[in-house]
Amino acid sequence: MADILLGNVKGPQGNTGATGSQGPRGDAATITVGTVSTTAYGNTAQVINSGTEQDAVLDFVIPQGKPGEQTTRMGALTLDTITAQSADFPIPAVGETGSTVFGKIIKFFNSTISALNSKLNISDVVNNLTSTSTTQPLSAAQGKALNDALANTNTALAALVKTTSFSDTTTSTGNVSLPLTPGNSAPIIAYDSDGNIYQIRRGSSSWVARVTNSSGAVLANTNVSVFIKYLAISN
């Protein structure tokens, strides 16, 4: 009879077979710590098995921490030189050397001491008008007293200064008598609107002015209108 190929025909699942016998007990595995070392900051941490799969020896590689900022202990610092400074009140700047920085610090304190030595002390202020000191200042109160005295003087002078005017004809020598009595008045200035020059002198019974023009020529036999400022004097 000829064979007939039916292909991969799967039959129904059979019953579970019997449990086999337990195999022999294997050797116990071990884990020990090997070396512990460090690597540079920024590297990756590592755990390396330098043993076997059965007896592992773990070597640890740990990254170092971030480096701290470098500092110089002042107690161990020896300053071998100082760069002297000439400018008053210098300010240290970033990037300068230690000798320059300390030179600026010393100059700053010296400038401060000089400023303090030249400062004004309250005890130096003079509160009177009798001191002859050339180094002590006058108080504000005495400054006001002087200002008040000056104001009173100006007021008194303003009361004494008078103004008058007159018209007259000059003599052949260019003179004109002012209507002021020498004992009761003192002329300050005489003038007119034409810009003539009046040279005042004291006469026997009155003040006399000699009149010239801007070129210096005498104005003889000339009618003039004169304005006078004078001090009124009380006997």
pLDDT along the chain (235 residues), means of 10: 61 78 77 90 91 87 86 78 93 91 94 87 90 90 92 86 93 93 88 90 90 92 94 77
**pLDDT recorded at residue 170:** 94
Residue 165 within any structural domain of the chain:
yes
Residue 152 within any structural domain of the chain:
no
Q: What is the pTM of this model?
A: 0.38
Instruction: Kindly state the tokens that stand for 115.
Output: 């400023």
**pLDDT recorded at residue 94:** 92
User: Based on the domain organization, do 164 and 228 belong to the same domain?
Assistant: yes
**pLDDT recorded at residue 164:** 93
What range defines the domain where residue 215 resides? 160-232
Pick from 174, 183, 162: which is nearest to 227 by CA?
162
**pLDDT recorded at residue 159:** 83
**pLDDT recorded at residue 52:** 87
Tally of structural domains, the chain: 3
Spatial contact of 176 and 218, defined as CB atoms under 8 Å apart = no
Report the alpha-carbon distance of residue 67 to residue 221 in Å, rounded: 111
User: Based on the domain organization, do 104 and 168 belong to the same domain?
Assistant: no
**pLDDT recorded at residue 5:** 59
**pLDDT recorded at residue 235:** 58
Pick from 230, 221, 123, 213: which is nearest to 176 by CA?
221
User: Based on the domain organization, do 171 and 196 belong to the same domain?
Assistant: yes
User: Based on the domain organization, do 112 and 171 belong to the same domain?
Assistant: no
User: Which amino acid is present at 181?
Assistant: T
Residue 101 within any structural domain of the chain:
yes
Spatial contact of 64 and 41, defined as CB atoms under 8 Å apart = yes
Residue 181 within any structural domain of the chain:
yes
Report the alpha-carbon distance of residue 115 to residue 112 in Å, rounded: 5
